[in-house]
């Protein structure tokens, strides 16, 4: 039984200012959230040019200027009131929204956690209106000279919520998030010019373009653009358009997949998996195609209110959308002249057979990887790691006692090596094993020698990658890369680590750098170096699907016996699994 006394209540009703700050935290998570909300409003105002300027990674200052329709003095004052909006009048309007800034809480939420100044003017007005808002309250309303449109300046973000400000990441990380927001908005709206300045320096420029491809070239460079093919499809009121990469252009994650639904950039694991499934067996497992996809569909089937930032989406007809997207991707690739039809069952058959009782986002990982690599490629990679071992491990310091002798018996599916170890049957993952070997050599050699390239390789980095690369350059150089700025949006590599022939292939160098940068900000210096070592080891290792002779398999096992931890790869996956006689007897029901 709970005892109550009336001397003092422990339950308090929060004042409105505190409630507003808590609610603002759901919408304004970081400086990039402010940028997104203000750009959304600028787009809805009919702007053809939007400029973003930030200082202090956005925590100090964010200013968004546009040439849209502007607001009257009355509307400007109302815009900062909670739940104020020009987009809806009643609940049913939520089902038919075609605009972005409909929430009606953006300016109110921003003003609750920052100092805000807005200058706005309509076309037919002689003068503009200036508002100064502090702690959610309008302090000043005055008439000023102004250009048509709006300029909103947000200063000292989270100044009155220090706990939230404390959890902001490094400046480069916060800038990378802002770049990501502006990049997505530019891709979604090629008819609008976007400019982003950081500390007075232009770091992103996407001029008004006639097509989405022009914007892609401005933002991502020609190397990616030339590997894209257009995609277009219609079905049951849905329309798909945009670009997808040829199978030879893939990334280590889906950071280069941009999905837009009814003009809004969203995160959708189901659609991302549908894109991947459309490639079927054309790309290796663990690789992701580049995609710029725009899907137009009935707003009644789309719920953007899954998350306060509207970055996630719920589809009432998700299965239909997944089938539509995957079939459109497969059809587009099949029509491309230099890409053969996949052997075996088509995507629709795969969908029909595998979706029975299996979550759709699990099916992509189950597709068999079809690529095969030559024995010559395997030999080249093994010779490199063998030389590295001989340089770093002397005979007297050999670690061969960590793993008993293994008698190699053969290979299965050009992925697994079968052998006998004492009285046990063992299965070795050839890629994971070689990855461990290379990783340990990189770890014991703090300064890797560099292999100079015959000609420098240029890197057309994405805007987000460019924000991170400066932070990574010292660690890339200590790992054996030589990389330098080669222009406003380009870097060049003229030397690579001398650890693998794969890294000496100019064609894969941009992808390696992209893989390293894709992790974003890593917490400390040790973490950055570790991530680089793991990426280099993975890239240099024998591939799954590589043909191996008996001699090559024996060489790999001998090298594995010399490492300090032969039982797992750098990412924690097992390199070797054993089956003792007792276990096999139980499996065959002999006991």
Query: Would you write out the chain's pLDDT as a tens digit for each of its 591 residues?
Result: 444 455 555 555 556 666 565 555 557 889 999 999 999 999 999 999 999 999 999 999 999 999 999 999 999 988 888 765 555 445 455 555 555 544 446 888 899 899 999 999 999 999 999 999 998 889 999 999 999 999 999 999 999 988 888 888 888 889 999 999 999 999 999 999 999 999 999 999 999 998 899 999 989 888 789 899 999 999 988 999 999 999 988 887 788 999 999 888 888 888 999 999 999 878 877 788 999 999 998 888 777 655 555 566 677 788 898 999 999 999 999 887 544 333 333 334 333 433 333 333 333 333 344 456 667 778 878 877 777 666 655 444 444 587 889 999 999 988 999 999 988 999 999 999 999 998 888 887 666 678 888 888 888 788 888 888 877 888 888 878 888 888 767 889 988 877 655 555 666 677 777 777 766 555 455 667 787 788 888 888 888 888 889 999 999 999 999 888 899 999 888 999 999 888 888 889 887
- Contacts of residue 581, defined as CB under 8 A and 6 or more positions apart, other chains included, come to 423, 424
CB 116 within 8 A of CB 133: yes
Give the C-alpha distances (Å, rounded to integers) separating 31 from 34, 415, 500.
5, 46, 41
Both structure tokens of 548: 């191996």
CB 161 within 8 A of CB 22: no
Predicted confidence at residue 362, as pLDDT, reads: 37
* Burial zone of 119 (CB within 10 Å; 0-12 exposed, 13-18 middle, 19+ buried): buried
Distance CA 290, CA 17 (A): 45
State the virtual CA torsion across 464, 467, 473, 474 in degrees, nearest 10.
Answer: -130
Of 155, 224, 232, 238, residue with least CA distance to 183: 224
How is 494-558 classified by DSSP, letter by letter?
EEEETT-GGGG-GGGHHHHHHHHHTT---SSHHHHHHHHHHHHHHHHSPPTTB---HHHHHHHHH
Distance CA 119, CA 306 (A): 33
Distance CA 433, CA 580 (A): 21
Give the C-alpha distances (Å, rounded to integers) separating 391 from 34, 295, 372, 395, 448.
53, 55, 31, 11, 12
| Residues paired with residue 137 on neighbouring β-strands, in sequence order | 134
Distance CA 415, CA 370 (A): 11
User: DSSP E strands: which ranges in 331-466?
Assistant: 407-412, 416-421, 424-429, 450-460
* Cβ neighbours of 357 (radius 10 Å): 5
Distance CA 297, CA 315 (A): 10
Confidence (pTM): 0.72
Predicted confidence at residue 46, as pLDDT, reads: 94
State the virtual CA torsion across 208, 213, 219, 222 in degrees, nearest 10.
Answer: -130
Report how far apart the first and last C-alpha atoms of the chain are (Å, whole number): 58
- Contacts of residue 73, defined as CB under 8 A and 6 or more positions apart, other chains included, come to 129, 141, 143
Distance CA 289, CA 295 (A): 17
Distance CA 330, CA 535 (A): 30
In Å, how far from its chain's centre is CA 109? 27
Both structure tokens of 237: 């009121």
Predicted confidence at residue 395, as pLDDT, reads: 42
Edge-first strand order for the sheet with 264-266 is: 228-235, 238-245, 291-296, 257-261, 264-266
Distance CA 257, CA 530 (A): 26
Distance CA 51, CA 44 (A): 15
Within 156-250, residue ranges assigned H as helices are 162-166, 171-188, 212-220, 222-225
Edge-first strand order for the sheet with 576-580 is: 407-412, 416-421, 424-429, 576-580
- Going by the DSSP 8-state scheme, the letter that residue 160 receives in this structure is T
Predicted confidence at residue 162, as pLDDT, reads: 87
Distance CA 273, CA 351 (A): 12
Helix, coil or strand: residue 428 = strand
Distance CA 113, CA 21 (A): 6
Distance CA 483, CA 114 (A): 39
Buried b / exposed e along 80-117 (16+ C-beta atoms within 10 A): bebeebbebeeeeeeeeeebbbbbbbbbbbbbbbbbbb
Of 292, 288, 277, residue with least CA distance to 252: 288
* Burial zone of 455 (CB within 10 Å; 0-12 exposed, 13-18 middle, 19+ buried): exposed
Give the C-alpha distances (Å, rounded to integers) separating 67 from 34, 42, 582.
19, 8, 77
What is the pairing mode between strands 291-296 and 257-261? parallel
Both structure tokens of 209: 């373009």
């Amino acid at each position: 039984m709970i005892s109550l006394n009336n001397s003092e209540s422990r339950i308090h009703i929060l004042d409105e200012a505190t409630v507003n700050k808590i609610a603002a935290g759901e919408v304004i998570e970081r400086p990039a959230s402010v940028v997104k909300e203000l750009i959304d409003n600028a787009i809805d105002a009919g702007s053809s040019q939007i400029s973003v300027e930030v200082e202090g990674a956005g925590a100090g200052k964010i200013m968004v200027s546009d040439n849209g329709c502007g607001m009257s003095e009355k509307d400007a004052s109302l815009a900062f009131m909670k739940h104020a909006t020009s987009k809806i009048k009643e609940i049913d309007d939520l089902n038919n929204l075609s605009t972005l800034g409909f929430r009606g809480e953006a300016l109110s939420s921003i003003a609750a956690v920052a100092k805000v100044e807005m200058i706005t003017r309509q076309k037919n007005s002689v003068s503009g209106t200036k508002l100064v808002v502090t702690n959610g309250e309008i302090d000043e309303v005055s008439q000023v000279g102004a250009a048509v449109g709006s300029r909103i300046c947000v200063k000292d973000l989270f100044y009155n919520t220090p706990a939230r400000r404390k959890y902001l990441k490094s400046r480069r990380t916060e800038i990378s998030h802002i770049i990501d927001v502006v990049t997505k908005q530019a891709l979604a709206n090629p008819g609008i010019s976007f400019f982003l300045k950081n500390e007075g320096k232009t770091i992103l420029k996407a001029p008004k373009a006639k097509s989405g491809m022009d914007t892609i070239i401005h933002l991502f460079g020609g190397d990616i653009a030339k590997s894209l093919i257009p995609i277009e499809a219609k079905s049951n009121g849905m329309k798909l358009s945009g670009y997808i990469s040829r199978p030879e252009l893939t990334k280590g994650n889906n950071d280069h997949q941009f999905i837009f639904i009814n003009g809004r950039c969203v995160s959708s694991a189901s659609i991302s998996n549908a894109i991947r499934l459309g490639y079927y067996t054309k790309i290796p497992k663990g690789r992701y195609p580049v995609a710029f996809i725009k899907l137009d569909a009935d707003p009644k089937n789309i719920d953007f209110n899954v998350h306060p930032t509207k970055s996630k989406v719920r589809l009432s007809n998700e299965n239909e959308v997944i089938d539509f997207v995957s079939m459109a991707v497969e059809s587009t690739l099949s029509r491309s002249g230099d890409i053969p039809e996949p052997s075996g069952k088509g995507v629709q058959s795969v969908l029909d057979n595998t979706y029975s009782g299996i979550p759709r986002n699990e099916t992509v990982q189950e597709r068999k990887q079809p690529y095969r690599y030559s024995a010559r490629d395997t030999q080249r990679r093994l010779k490199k790691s063998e030389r590295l071992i001989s340089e770093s491990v002397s005979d007297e310091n050999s670690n061969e006692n960590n793993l008993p002798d293994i008698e190699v018996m053969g290979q299965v599916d050009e992925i697994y090596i079968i052998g006998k170890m004492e009285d046990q049957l063992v299965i070795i993952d050839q890629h994971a094993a070689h990855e461990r070997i290379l990783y340990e050599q990189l770890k014991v050699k703090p300064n890797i020698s560099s292999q100079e390239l015959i000609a420098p390789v240029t890197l057309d980095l994405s805007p987000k990658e460019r924000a991170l690369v400066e932070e990574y350059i010292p660690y890339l150089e200590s790992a054996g890369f030589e990389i330098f700025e080669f222009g406003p949006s380009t870097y060049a590599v003229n030397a690579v680590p001398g650890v693998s022939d794969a890294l000496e292939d100019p064609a894969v160098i941009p992808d390696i750098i992209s893989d390293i940068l894709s992790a974003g900000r890593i917490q400390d210096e040790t973490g950055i170096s570790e991530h680089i070592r793991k990426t280099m080891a993975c890239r240099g290792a024998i591939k799954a699907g590589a043909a191996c002779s008996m001699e090559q398999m024996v060489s790999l096992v001998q090298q594995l016996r010399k490492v300090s931890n032969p039982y797992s790869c750098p990412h924690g996956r097992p390199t070797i699994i054993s089956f003792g006689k007792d276990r096999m007897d139980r499996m065959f029901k002999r006991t």
